[in-house]
Homo-oligomer: A and B are copies of this chain.
């Protein structure tokens, strides 16, 4: 779907020229929340965007620090971005390592599962604090065209972190409420006495 190009165009849409390095940092504080990218990806995609005429670049010679290439969105780029923004978005297939693990939490020792959930909760809480801080900053800033979108994205982030926190609490309660028979120790077989054959034979 080539969304990375649109992520980069989004970052350049305010008309402010940015280098690949700038974009990497910029991603970290806003667009990266909904579309993460690493530096090799960004440098390569910027090259592709330039080839396609959606951005232009200029070499900025610096003394005392490395030279840099700053990229600006072109009129063609702005048009391509707005056309894409107006299209319908398909439902995203989510990939979440924690939830994948959760599938097997019924086979894991209760206390271990609870501890992992606590770690996970802490990560999401941190993230929520950050989103709230950013929201305050943006709300206090002047109303540029990008402000509404940014605030909406932050709000989505906060609502999702709330969902995660609530889920962690419910999951801990559900695991604690299990009958004792269902709990297993880690690294051990379920019932070594009554050994079961696997389907391989």
Question: Using a CB–CB distance below 8 Å, which chain A residues touch chain B?
Answer: 1, 3, 6-7, 10, 13, 15-17, 30-36, 56, 58, 72-75, 78, 81-108, 112, 116, 119-120, 123-124, 127, 143, 145-153, 155-156, 159-160, 162-164, 166-167, 170-171, 174-175, 178, 182, 186-187, 196, 198-200
Contacts and interface: CB of A to CB of B under 8 A. Distances in A.
Contacts of A143: 182
Contact of A91 (B1, B127, B163): B127
Contacts of A175: 148
A92 B98 contact: yes
Given A102-B149, A149-B103, A152-B174, A73 B198 contact: yes
Nearest to A119: B88
A33 to B, nearest CB: 7
